Amino acid sequence: MQYLANAKPKGAAIPSGLQDLLLAVVNTCTALSDEVAQGALIGLLGSAGSGNVQGEVQQKLDIIANDQLIAGVKDCKALAGLASEEMELPLPVQGTGDYLLLFDPLDGSSNIDVNVSIGTIFSILKKQAPQAPLQTADFLLSGRHQVAAGYVVYGPQTTMALTLGDGVVMFTLNQATGEFVLIHDAVTIAHSTKEFAINMSNMRHWAEPVRRYVEECLAGTSGTRDKDFNMRWIASMVADVHRVLSRGGVFMYPWDQREPHKPGKLRLMYEANPMSFLVEQAGGASINGTKVIMDLQPTDLHERVSVMLGSKDEIDRLQQYHS
């Protein structure tokens, strides 16, 4: 990808090892795009008949995406190890690698069988103790330690959003050539919005600040807000966040009292942190209600978190309601 060879995030070329790793991820997602597009035609829809560490039923494509990402990156000399939503433990790769790759291989997989957009989310951390043998604790770094993050959404177009810590760029896959073509070189999220995304069926289970915020959105100009709002819920985080990055908005999957012991549904390390990096780099904000998500110190590879992200004015309002 020419972009990776020429880009100079924060004025410096992308280290070659990181370039190689990113290219391996991109190439794997290019192949996945084709498989997702064929779905039933190549027998890839439906459940794999197994469960993952999250206690979720795995779809065939979940496992295929996971296996293909591992195969696609395992020879990268700079990759010390990887962690996946689909695997309980991290996988050591190269003993002397600098980077750690974390991913949700196919987010939104409950949508696979009904032809709704799904996607791959990835986050790259720099290993803090490069020479020591890899252990799970190496991955438990806050989102501030990410050196790169992105997603590829498999939808009407296959589009990738990427940040290397110096803004957000977007590419669309040219299916004819197999190349990702740059379509936005400085993605920004407007500070205000008229659009919010949340699963409304959980309304009676939300905490008061979230309920207050959503009720005010629903009341629009007949309530305390100065505008009417629109609502979206694709139930595929990649697709919902892509809409927020593309035209602003607020995406929320907050804690609720259905499973009060869990801080939220979405995973911190390979869903919330990479999406928060992208959103902050595009001028938005991302909190768990009271705290900035990228400042959270993880204690478990698969820990969950309450997520509210998007247009800064709205996230500031939500944080104020939680304080």
Q: Which residues bind ligand P6P (CB under 6 A)?
A: 107-108, 110, 199, 235-237, 240, 253, 265-266
Report the distance separating Cα 51 and Cα 53, nearest Å.
7
Report the distance separating Cα 263 and Cα 265, nearest Å.
7
Report the distance separating Cα 123 and Cα 250, nearest Å.
21
Q: Which is nearer to ligand P6P, 1 or 36 (CB)?
A: 36
| CA-wise closest residue to 250 among 281, 285, 225 | 285
Instruction: Identify the burial level of 41 via C-beta atoms within 10 angstroms of its C-beta, where 0-12 means exposed, 13-18 middle and 19 or more buried.
Output: exposed
Minimum distance of ligand P6P from residue 306's CB (angstroms): 13
Q: Which is nearer to ligand P6P, 245 or 266 (CB)?
A: 266
Minimum distance of ligand P6P from residue 16's CB (angstroms): 33
* Residue number with the smallest Cβ distance to ligand P6P: 237
Q: Which is nearer to ligand P6P, 53 or 235 (CB)?
A: 235
Minimum distance of ligand P6P from residue 253's CB (angstroms): 6
Q: Which is nearer to ligand P6P, 79 or 118 (CB)?
A: 118
Report the distance separating Cα 289 and Cα 155, nearest Å.
30
Look up residue 288 and give its DSSP letter.
Answer: S
Compute the Cα dihedral for 119, 5, 247, 37 and give only its sign: negative
Minimum distance of ligand P6P from residue 205's CB (angstroms): 11
How far lies 145's CA from each of 49, 55, 172, 296, 300, in Å? 36, 28, 27, 11, 16
Q: Which is nearer to ligand P6P, 198 or 296 (CB)?
A: 198
Minimum distance of ligand P6P from residue 118's CB (angstroms): 8
CA 211 to chain centre: 25
Q: Which is nearer to ligand P6P, 75 or 88 (CB)?
A: 88
Reduce the DSSP state of residue 143 to 3 states and report it. Answer: helix
Q: Which is nearer to ligand P6P, 7 or 239 (CB)?
A: 239
Q: Which is nearer to ligand P6P, 21 or 237 (CB)?
A: 237
Judge whether 311 and 250 are in contact, CB under 8 Å.
yes
Minimum distance of ligand P6P from residue 67's CB (angstroms): 19
Minimum distance of ligand P6P from residue 157's CB (angstroms): 19
| Backbone region of residue 49 per phi and psi (left: phi > 0; alpha: psi in -120 to 50; beta: other values) | left
Minimum distance of ligand P6P from residue 117's CB (angstroms): 10
